[in-house]
Structure 1
Amino acid sequence: MKSKILLPVVLLLAVLTGPSLLAQDEYYRPDSLRKEQPERKEVPPVERNPQQKPVLAEKKKLSDFKNKSFIDRLRLGGSFGLSLGTYTNVNLSPMAGYELAENLVAGVGVTGMYFKSNLAGVNSIYYGGRAFLMYAVIPEINIIGEVEALNVEADTYKKYDARKWITSPMLGAAYSQPLGGKFIKAVHLTALYNFNYDNQVDDYGNNISPYGLFWGQPIVIRVTFL
């Protein structure tokens, strides 16, 4: 009877103590018998070139500009002016420009102007055209070079109010304020110097240029949308 009770007790103890013995045996096995673990490899830090990001950004910017369509590079606008009083000056000059590079615009324009001076006895219409280059040093500052040809009135010894063409090579700068339009990208407050101003006279020595910040001065001030 005792042997029948003892046998189940022994089997039960063997079942309960077996897993712990196996775990201890696994713990005390040599390292060569343990399950091999993959070794973690140390990756050396990669040194980054501090100039790498700007170079990539510049390449991306250049690539984006080259992918621009003709319409996206086109600029349309012009300049206008209105002065009433002793001197009446109405000026309308539509212009078109094309972006040759990210910061360089070339363009052409036509000019129509009505000028009247009661003091000088002038009552005339001027017309002509211009070609220009505009280089953006920074988005707010542009360097502008321009050549304009105008047909104006010029008194001669043979004929009063004769007409002649004058050419004005001009150079200056503009303060620009971006507008974000599709064709009119910015408004430009421009000051230009007319290098040929002193030579634009009639036979009596009177200056026949319709421009000038003040009477008899070669500075041209414009507000241009382009």
Structure 2
Amino acid sequence: MKRLLMGILFLMTTQVVVAQYYKTDTSAHRGFDRSRLILGGSLGMVFGDYTNVDVSPLVGYRFNDYIAAGVNVNAQYGQYKSYDYYGNTLTRDKYTIFGGGIWGRVYPVPMLFVHIQPEYNAITQKSTYYDSNGAKQNLSTNYGVPSLLIGAGYTQSVGGRVGIGFSLMYDVIQDNRSPYRSNLIYRVGAGIGF
């Protein structure tokens, strides 16, 4: 019984010492602080006549409570089919997008952010056109497109440093070959260190 009581007292003393160490040691993280790393991104999938698979990881650093920045990768595969009145395939477009860029966020309040993301995407597109006789013609193109996404979002902690984020963005450059075109971009993602 004495040993059990001594063990409990020892553990309680250790907890108090550890808590005091973290509370009073404010100079321990003057340089790079791993707890300020942001790891996350988004994953999206749509299947059917319009198919899209989107994998967009990001990594960044939260410099203080108000500013974060980092890099992102954008990888997508998509396919779209169009049909005539009788249900015959008229065209089939396939594309792959690979690119990336940098991003920055300003948090005016802890859970809301303003987001800016310049990026450059390399796009490979293959279109197949079918005529009424069943013959087909293939056309392939490769090109690069710049984008400047600006928007805002909301993050919510789901436990510890893990959180989910929702954002709404718009490509202000509006290149006619942009994968975003004139649409609003909705993103939902999860990560560590939001």
TM range (shorter): 0.5 to 0.7
Where does residue 134 of structure 2 map in the other structure? none
* CA gap 1:78/1:99 in 2 versus in 1, 3 angstroms: same
Q: Distance in 1 between matches of 2:111 and 2:33?
A: 24
Larger strand proportion, structure 1 or 2? 2
Where does residue 145 of structure 1 map in the other structure? 116
* CA gap 1:109/1:132 in 2 versus in 1, 3 angstroms: same
Question: For residues 129-208 of structure 1, what are the structure 2 equivalents within 5 Å?
Answer: 129-153=100-124, 160-182=139-161, 184=162, 186-197=163-174, 199-201=175-177
Where does residue 7 of structure 2 map in the other structure? none
Contact 2:65 2:110 in 1 (8 A): no
Q: List 4+ stretches of structure 1 deviating above 2 A.
A: 63-70, 179-182
Report the TM-score, using the length of structure 1 for normalisation. Answer: 0.58
Unmatched 5+ stretches in structure 2: 1-22, 83-90, 127-137
Q: CA RMSD in A?
A: 2.6
Contact 1:125 1:152 in 2 (8 A): yes
Q: Distance in 2 between matches of 1:138 and 1:65?
A: 26
Describe the SS at the equivalent of 2:34.
helix
Deviation at 1:67, TM superposition (A): 4.2
Contact 1:153 1:162 in 2 (8 A): yes
Larger helix proportion, structure 1 or 2? 1
168, 189, 192: which one aligns with 1:224: 189
Deviation at 1:95, TM superposition (A): 0.9
* CA gap 1:217/1:177 in 2 versus in 1, 3 angstroms: same
Equivalent position amino acid for 1:112 in 2? A
Contact 1:176 1:188 in 2 (8 A): yes
Describe the SS at the equivalent of 2:63.
strand
Q: Structure 1 vs Structure 2: percent identity of aligned residues?
A: 26
Higher-Rg structure is 1
Where does residue 4 of structure 1 map in the other structure? none
Deviation at 1:65, TM superposition (A): 9.7
Q: Looking at both structures, which has the greater relative contact order when contacts are Cα pairs under 8 Å and sequence separation is at least 6?
A: 2
Unmatched 5+ stretches in structure 1: 1-59, 202-208
